[in-house]
Amino acid sequence: MLKLTNVSKSFGGLKAISDLTFEVRPNQFFGIIGANGAGKTTLLNLITGYTPPSEGRIEFEGMPIHGLPPYRVAHCGIGRTFQITQPFAEMSVLDNVMTGALFSRNGARRSLRQARAMCDEPLRLVGLADQAHQLAGVLTLGARKKLELARVLVTEPRLLLLDEVMGGLTPHEIDDLVETLRRVHAAGTTIVMIEHVLHAIMNLSDHVFVLNFGRELYRGTPDDVVNHPEVIAAYLGKPLTEQ
Ligand SMILES: Nc1ncnc2c1ncn2[C@@H]1O[C@H](COP(=O)(O)OP(=O)(O)OP(=O)(O)O)[C@@H](O)[C@H]1O
């Protein structure tokens, strides 16, 4: 579905991403982990067109997407969230999600009524249907993360990229968001997730890719990854069972 071939990205003399090759298959829940500065956000920016690769190919459903601007990548069916959520605080939850429906592909051709109708399912999936008429500015951080998710889901992405959605959440909010993402994935969206909250990413992912200084360190099932000596040495510090 998403295929990267020999992708590299340099910022001046710094090689933030070095020669990455991997493929995400339809319906996968693909986790990406790595220490601060390993290149995770740069990798998402490369896939979503926020920054062009210095070398290599990125294909989505067989079409080259490297070099396309972000809105064209989004129109291909790739949605993403950002580390910092930025809802329109003075607007309701529902109106925030409607902006996603109105400004996505074909959005200009939709009536307000059509855009409104498209919001029901994303709001239900993320568990915000009961708060649809609340102002976004009064939501807890956990609810704001769900709103960001709903605003992307209303664009009907086939591939969803999540950039550290669990950051700053309480343990209860993390468990709740894990269940939400499980529902989103079960509803048919392929997911690539970058995350530092290990138990969340290990619980959700069927495949985990480990980045270290912009290079592939290891890839495998969550069990393989957490027990691999190089991953323990470079990222975990000690085995998960001892943390
Ligand atoms: N626009 C840029 N210009 C110059 N250097 C950059 C730029 N963006 C990222 N970098 C550098 O590239 C490297 C990878 O950064 P990146 O933000 O992708 O890491 P990360 O794994 O997402 O880190 P974190 O977990 O802290 O978010 C870092 O050394 C960073 O300073």
Question: Which residue, judged by its Cα, is nearest atom 30 of ligand 1?
Answer: 37
Mean pLDDT over residues 90-116, rounded? 84
Residue 37 beta carbon below 6 angstroms from any ligand 1 atom? yes
Residue 11 beta carbon below 6 angstroms from any ligand 1 atom? yes
Residue 16 beta carbon below 6 angstroms from any ligand 1 atom? yes
Provide the pLDDT confidence category of residue 207 given band limits of 50, 70 and 90: very high
**Could you tell me what percent of the chain has a pLDDT over 70?**
98
> What is the chain's length?
243
Q: Are 123 and 133 in contact (CB under 8 A)?
A: no
Instruction: Beginning with the edge strand found earlier in the chain, give each strand of the sheet holding 78-80 in spatial order.
Output: 78-80, 159-163, 190-194, 29-33, 207-212, 215-220
pLDDT of residue 64: 97
pLDDT of residue 102: 83
Domains plus CATH for the chain?
2-77+157-242 (3.40.50.300)
Residue 228 beta carbon below 6 angstroms from any ligand 1 atom? no
Query: C-alpha distances in angstroms, 110 versus 71, 73, 105?
Result: 18, 21, 10
Cα separation, 223 vs 236, whole angstroms? 13
pLDDT of residue 103: 76
- Please name the residues in contact with 122: beta carbons below 8 A apart, sequence gap of 6 or more: 97, 149, 150, 151, 153, 154
Residue 239 beta carbon below 6 angstroms from any ligand 1 atom? no
Residue 38 beta carbon below 6 angstroms from any ligand 1 atom? yes
- Please name the residues in contact with 130: beta carbons below 8 A apart, sequence gap of 6 or more: none
Q: List, for residues 23-50, the tens digit of each pLDDT value.
A: 999 999 999 999 888 999 999 999 999 9
Q: Report how far ligand 1's centroid is from the alpha carbon of 42 (Å).
A: 6
pLDDT of residue 107: 63
Q: What is the pTM of this model?
A: 0.91
Dihedral angle, C-alpha 58, 60, 66, 71, nearest 10 °:
-150
Cα separation, 193 vs 195, whole angstroms? 6
Q: Does the structure show a pLDDT above 80 at 10?
A: yes
Q: Report how far ligand 1's centroid is from the alpha carbon of 167 (Å).
A: 17
Which of 7, 8, 11, 216 to probe ligand 1 with, by most ligand atoms within 8 A of CB?
11
Q: Does the structure show a pLDDT above 90 at 84?
A: no
Report residue 79: phi and psi, to 5°. Answer: -110, 155
Query: C-alpha distances in angstroms, 4 versus 22, 132, 221?
Result: 5, 38, 19
Mean pLDDT, the chain, whole residue set: 92
pLDDT of residue 82: 79
Provide the pLDDT confidence category of residue 89 given band limits of 50, 70 and 90: confident
